[in-house]
């Protein structure tokens, strides 16, 4: 009787163990609900190869072994499964990737400058992995000088081949200093500048990007294909000696730049606000609303220059000004905030206050950028 009871107990135990065998979460597991690429998007230098690991998870976040498949590969890239990742024996001697696994790794090669992607599918679930190709820094092309003139107020047009583009904040520096940017094509393919008087040689360009990555500046700069030779003769913009005749300057659209080059006559006798009595010349502009403006003032010679602003309605000084530097220290460059209204911009020279009594500059250059 005891033996029979023991056998019954053993049988019962085996049944219990059988009931407890297996994964207790099996009843919670479902099929694939999500594919997870790491990284979720790629940035590759043209000609280079990177890797992406893709996993599949169920509704509980558990990884699932499954068969992944490449179902769509965009232009300009080559995508292949990495045969060296988590290999298994496919026969007694040969290693190879398993048909099903919890993780698949793909090798992605960037062949062209494109914004592309590829798609991985498993059990009817898709995931798209964006691939953004950036140029080799050593292969960024030069900008062609498509139009140019000998005078400082002649516009020089620079052109980049697609898909390269000038950013809204692009700048060009010749040997004399930064050129004044006066325009940019909507697609960024061209940039218009005024080279400072006496500029020669090629221009060093910063602020170039790829058109499909407009907010990602390239790490290195480029230059112009041909040198420039700009003479020193500047034609005076009329009316800068009187508030009543001060020429209107056009502010750029938000995010863009504009500016001008003028002689440094600084012949205004009145209307320069609190600076009346020192050499000054005036320009007019209007703002509908509060506006942030980046300003840069350059001038020939050592004279201590500053930019001051005057309320055009009553001639009183406005709050913003740009005058942090002294003699022989240029450019003056500032970020200023203006309320809506009509303003006069005064270029002021404090040369007479120095023992050297610095003469007025032969020319001044003003760059404006609306933020």
Residue 146: which CATH number? 2.60.40
Task: Give the whole-angstrom CA distance, residue 293 versus residue 338.
Answer: 8
Same domain, 115 and 153: no
In a domain, 45, yes or no: yes
Which of 291, 294, 313 lies closest to 366, judged by CA?
Answer: 294
Q: Does residue 204 share a domain with residue 128?
A: no
CA distances from 209 to 185, 252, 253 (A): 14, 21, 20
The answer on 256 and 216 residing in a single domain is no
Residues 360 and 257 in one domain: yes
Last residue of a domain, one of 119, 134, 149: 134
14 in a structural domain: no
Q: Do 282 and 184 lie in a common domain?
A: no
Tokens of 103: 């993780």
The CATH number of residue 326's host domain is 2.60.120.380
pLDDT value for 326: 87
Q: Is the peptide bond before 93 cis (omega within 30 degrees of 0)?
A: no
Between CA 147 and CA 283 the distance in angstroms is 28
Is 362 domain-assigned?
A: yes
- The reply to whether 108 falls in a domain is yes
How far is residue 247's CA from residue 49's CA, in Å, rounded to a whole number? 56
Alpha carbons 296 and 330: distance in angstroms, whole number:
9
12: in domain = no
Q: Are both 122 and 144 inside the same structural domain?
A: no
- Residue 288 phi/psi, 5-degree rounding, is -80, -35
Asked if residue 288 and residue 210 are part of one domain, the reply reads: no
Task: Give the dihedral sign, CA 168/172/176/179.
Answer: negative
Q: Do β-strands 49-57 and 34-38 pair in parallel, antiparallel, or remain unpaired?
A: antiparallel
State the distance between the two ends of the chain, measured CA to CA, in whole angstroms: 96
- CB contact set of 149 (below 8 Å; sequence gap of 6+): 155, 156
User: What pLDDT, on the 0 to 100 scale, is given for residue 29?
Assistant: 54
DSSP one-letter code for 62? -
Cα→Cα distances 218→190, 224, 334, Å: 17, 16, 25
pTM: 0.82
Domain count, the chain: 3
**Do 264 and 362 share a domain, yes or no?**
yes
Q: Based on the domain organization, do 84 and 73 belong to the same domain? A: yes
* 156 belongs to a structural domain: yes
**Closest to 303 in 3D by CA, of 288, 281, 319:** 281
- CA–CA separation, 208 and 171 (whole Å): 9
Domain boundary among 134, 158, 187: 134
* Domain stop point among 229, 256, 288: 229
SS3 86: coil
Alpha carbons 30 and 22: distance in angstroms, whole number: 16
**Among candidates 285, 276, 258, 277, which has minimal Cα distance to 345?**
285
For residues 170 and 117, membership in a common domain is answered with no
- Taking the C-alpha atoms of residue 194 and residue 364, their distance in angstroms, rounded to an integer, is 12
Domain that holds residue 342: 243-370
* 153 and 110 within one domain: no
User: Both 259 and 360 in a single domain?
Assistant: yes
Residues of the chain with pLDDT under 50: 1-21, 27
pLDDT per residue as tens digits for the range 201-225: 999 999 999 999 998 888 778 999 9
């Amino acid at each position: 009787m005891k033996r029979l009871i023991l056998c019954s107990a053993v049988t019962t135990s085996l049944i219990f163990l059988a009931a407890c065998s297996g994964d207790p979460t099996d009843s919670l597991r479902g099929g694939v609900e999500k594919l997870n690429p790491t990284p979720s998007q790629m940035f590759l230098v043209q000609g280079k190869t990177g890797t992406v690991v893709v996993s599949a998870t169920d509704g509980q976040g558990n990884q699932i072994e499954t068969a992944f498949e490449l179902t769509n590969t965009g232009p300009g890239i080559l995508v292949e499964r990495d045969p060296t990742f988590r290999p298994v024996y496919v026969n007694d001697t040969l290693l190879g990737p398993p048909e099903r696994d919890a993780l698949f790794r793909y090798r992605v090669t960037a062949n062209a400058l494109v914004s592309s992607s590829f798609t991985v599918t498993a059990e009817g679930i898709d995931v798209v992995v964006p691939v953004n190709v950036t140029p080799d820094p050593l292969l960024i092309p030069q900008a062609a000088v498509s139009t140019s003139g000998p005078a400082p107020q002649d516009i020089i047009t620079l052109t980049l081949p697609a898909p390269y583009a000038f950013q809204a904040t692009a700048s060009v520096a010749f040997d004399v200093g930064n050129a004044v940017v006066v325009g940019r094509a909507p697609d960024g393919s061209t940039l218009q500048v005024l080279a400072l008087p006496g500029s020669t040689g090629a221009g060093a360009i910063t602020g170039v990007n790829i058109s499909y990555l407009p907010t990602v500046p390239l790490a290195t700069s480029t230059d112009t294909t041909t040198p420039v030779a700009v003479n020193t003769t500047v034609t005076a913009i009329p009316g800068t000696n009187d508030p009543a005749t001060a020429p209107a300057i056009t502010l750029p659209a938000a995010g863009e730049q504009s500016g001008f080059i003028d002689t440094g006559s600084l012949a205004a006798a009145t209307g320069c606000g609190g600076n009346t009595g020192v050499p000054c010349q005036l320009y007019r502009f209007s703002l509908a609303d509060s506006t942030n403006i980046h300003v840069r003032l350059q001038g020939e010679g050592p004279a201590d220059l500053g930019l001051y602003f005057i309320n055009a309605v009553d001639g009183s000084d406005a709050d913003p000004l740009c005058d942090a530097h002294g003699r022989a220290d240029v450019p003056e460059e500032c970020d200023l905030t203006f309320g809506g209204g009509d303003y006069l911009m005064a270029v002021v020279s404090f040369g007479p206050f120095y023992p050297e009594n610095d003469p007025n500059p032969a020319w001044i250059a003003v760059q404006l950028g609306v933020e």
